[in-house]
């Protein structure tokens, strides 16, 4: 071992879903949206003035922050944007969880939370979900350094209503509660409506799923202006120019077309419900997902085998082999009707 190695920061990184480089595949492994971004995004992309790239982008991301503030009817100083919600969540962990007491998040949730906690040396506890993968709210009634909940949760897809979130907030008035709403548009109700009543609530969302823009990397959070000030101070202490010129201009377009957005969501939710029905016919049990993915377990076929079999046919899905509680589940993104039909055919041939 070299002397300097003892100074290295050693972390076990988050492992993102695979991005295979194949010309034809059915990609249902990273919860991307199967439909293109809004037509206005395409137009803005075509019209984008490349000369703008000479200059640094606006460090305040003003046009994008303004568009989101208008959309959610909040003040600009209640909005913070980042490079995907991963960036926003990472910054939020760094900004708000600076206590000796452990922060709390479920044992089964977005696995990046644990990675940030380790990276920033934030102590944490992971109360177990119950046997139906529901959060036991009483586990969050104790003193802590903060609370993080994905709602709907991932990878279970299960959504808790706002009375549940309010109950958690009532019991955690002295710490920051982060609600990660990456999937909320697919059938849930956002906790953004609670931010005026709970100054310690930070709601995080993304353009990656419902707005079909995972490749653009835009995420944001909304909360009390004092929280947004703190997270901005941390951002400016790390990297002032987070949002590139294109993401600022194109991002504004993505929030304009409400009709396209709603139509897109409706198609995905309808396909999700059909997927659950079809998978049940094939011998799966599925959670009641309110996201753009289903979380499914087959009565006999092991998940790892199904994943491999599908992969050989260039159909990519995800499983979480390292966590014994969910290692036999597949997380399958809802694709187009044709893509899902191909998935059902492949599974049918294998299990029937
Ligand atoms: N939160 C949850 C629960 C997610 O599943 C994801 C997607 N991996 C993210 C946040 C981050 O998404 P993005 O960085 O693309 O906004």
Provide the pLDDT for residue 128.
98
Provide the pLDDT for residue 3.
96
pLDDT band, very low/low/confident/very high, at 60 (cuts 50, 70, 90): very high
Please state the rounded mean pLDDT for residues 21-48: 96
pLDDT band, very low/low/confident/very high, at 1 (cuts 50, 70, 90): confident
With vertex at residue 34, the alpha carbon angle to CA 45 and CA 215, rounded to the nearest 5 degrees, is 45
Provide the pLDDT for residue 23.
87
Ligand 1 centroid – CA 343 distance (Å): 24
Ligand 1 atom, smallest distance to 155 CA: 5
The answer to whether the CB of 230 is under 6 A from ligand 1 is no
Provide the pLDDT for residue 223.
98
Cα–Cα distance for residue pair 201/166, rounded to 1 Å: 10
Domain spans of the chain?
Answer: 15-37+259-351, 39-257
The answer to whether the CB of 214 is under 6 A from ligand 1 is yes
Ligand 1 centroid – CA 86 distance (Å): 6
Mean of the per-residue pLDDT values for the chain? Answer: 97
Q: Which is it for the CA torsion 272, 282, 109, 17, positive or negative?
A: negative
Give burial (CB, 10 Å; 0-12/13-18/19+) of 35: middle
Ligand 1: residue of 13, 14, 110 to mutate (most ligand atoms within 8 A of CB) is 110
Ligand 1 centroid – CA 245 distance (Å): 22
pLDDT over 90 (residue 51): yes
**pTM (2 decimals)?**
0.98
Q: Which residues, 6+ apart, have CB-to-CB distance to 224 below 8 Å?
A: 78, 195, 199, 200, 201
Ligand 1 atom, smallest distance to 150 CA: 3
pLDDT band, very low/low/confident/very high, at 352 (cuts 50, 70, 90): confident
Provide the pLDDT for residue 29.
97
Provide the pLDDT for residue 17.
87
The answer to whether the CB of 178 is under 6 A from ligand 1 is no
Q: Which CATH number fits domain 39-257: 3.30.70.1900, 3.40.640.10, 3.20.20.70, 3.40.50.720?
A: 3.40.640.10
Provide the pLDDT for residue 292.
98
The answer to whether the CB of 32 is under 6 A from ligand 1 is no
Ligand 1 centroid – CA 51 distance (Å): 31
Ligand 1 centroid – CA 294 distance (Å): 16
Secondary structure (3-state) at 134: coil
Any alpha helices (H) in the chain, and if so which ranges?
Answer: 39-47, 62-72, 84-96, 112-119, 162-170, 225-236, 245-254, 258-281, 303-312, 337-351
Contact yes or no for 133/108 (Cβ under 8 A): yes
Please state the rounded mean pLDDT for residues 165-183: 98
DSSP string, 266-301: HHHHHHHHHHHHHHHHTTEEE----SSEEEEEESSS
Backbone angles phi, psi at 33, to 5 degrees: -90, 135
With vertex at residue 108, the alpha carbon angle to CA 103 and CA 114, rounded to the nearest 5 degrees, is 45
Backbone angles phi, psi at 76, to 5 degrees: -60, -30
Ligand 1 atom, smallest distance to 16 CA: 8
pLDDT over 90 (residue 67): yes
pLDDT band, very low/low/confident/very high, at 275 (cuts 50, 70, 90): very high
With vertex at residue 124, the alpha carbon angle to CA 120 and CA 128, rounded to the nearest 5 degrees, is 140
Cα–Cα distance for residue pair 297/133, rounded to 1 Å: 13
DSSP string, 51-92: GGGGSPPPTT-HHHHHHHHHHHT--GGGEEEESHHHHHHHHH
Provide the pLDDT for residue 216.
97
pLDDT over 90 (residue 131): yes
pLDDT over 90 (residue 214): yes
Cα–Cα distance for residue pair 251/79, rounded to 1 Å: 14
The answer to whether the CB of 180 is under 6 A from ligand 1 is yes
The answer to whether the CB of 110 is under 6 A from ligand 1 is yes
CATH fold match for the domains 15-37+259-351 and 39-257 = no
What CATH number belongs to 15-37+259-351?
3.90.1150.10
Please state the rounded mean pLDDT for residues 137-160: 98
Q: Is the peptide bond before 250 cis (omega within 30 degrees of 0)?
A: no
Ligand 1: residue of 154, 182, 207, 221 to mutate (most ligand atoms within 8 A of CB) is 182
Ligand 1 centroid – CA 211 distance (Å): 13
Ligand 1: residue of 19, 29, 112 to mutate (most ligand atoms within 8 A of CB) is 112
pLDDT above 70 covers a percentage of the chain that reads 100
Ligand 1 centroid – CA 270 distance (Å): 22
Provide the pLDDT for residue 106.
98
Displacement of CA 144 from its chain's centroid (Å): 23
Cα–Cα distance for residue pair 169/149, rounded to 1 Å: 11
List the structure tokens of 182. Answer: 């990456």
Which own/partner pairs from 65-68 qualify as long-range (CB within 8 Å, at least 24 positions apart)?
67/251, 67/252, 67/255, 67/256, 68/220, 68/222, 68/255
Please state the rounded mean pLDDT for residues 88-114: 98
């Amino acid at each position: 071992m070299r002397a300097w190695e003892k100074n290295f920061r050693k972390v076990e990184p988050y492992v993102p879903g695979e991005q295979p480089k194949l010309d034809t595949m059915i990609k249902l492994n990273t919860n991307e949206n199967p439909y293109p971004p809004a037509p206005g995004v395409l137009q803005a992309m075509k019209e984008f003035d490349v000369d703008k790239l000479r200059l640094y982008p606006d460090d305040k991301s003003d046009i994008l922050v303004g568009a989101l503030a208008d959309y959610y009817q909040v003040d600009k100083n209640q909005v913070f944007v980042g490079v995907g919600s991963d960036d926003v969540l990472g910054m939020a962990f760094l900004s708000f969880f600076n206590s000796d007491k452990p922060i709390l998040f479920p044992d089964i949730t977005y696995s990046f939370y644990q990675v940030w906690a380790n990276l920033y040396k934030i102590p944490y506890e992971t109360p177990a979900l119950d046997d139906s993968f529901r959060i036991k709210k009483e586990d969050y009634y104790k003193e802590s350094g903060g609370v993080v909940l994905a709602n709907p949760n991932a990878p279970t897809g299960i959504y808790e209503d706002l009375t549940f979130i309010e109950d958690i907030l009532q019991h955690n008035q002295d710490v920051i509660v982060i609600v990660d709403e990456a999937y909320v548009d697919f059938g849930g109700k956002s906790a953004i409506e609670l931010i005026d009543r709970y100054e310690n609530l930070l709601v995080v969302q993304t353009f990656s799923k419902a707005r079909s823009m995972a490749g653009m990397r835009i995420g944001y959070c909304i909360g009390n202006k004092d929280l947004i000030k703190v997270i901005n101070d941390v951002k400016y202490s790390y990297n002032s120019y987070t949002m590139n010129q294109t993401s600022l201009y194109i991002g504004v377009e993505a929030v304009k077309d409400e009709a396209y957005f709603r139509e897109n969501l409706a198609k995905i939710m309808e396909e999700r419900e059909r997927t659950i029905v079809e998978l049940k016919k094939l011998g799966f049990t599925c959670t009641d997902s309110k996201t753009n993915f289903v979380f499914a377990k087959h009565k006999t076929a092991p998940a790892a085998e199904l994943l491999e079999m599908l992969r050989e046919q260039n159909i990519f899905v995800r499983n979480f082999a390292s966590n014994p509680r969910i290692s036999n589940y597949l997380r399958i993104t809802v694709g187009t009707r044709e893509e899902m039909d191909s998935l059902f055919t492949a599974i049918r041939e294998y299990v029937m």
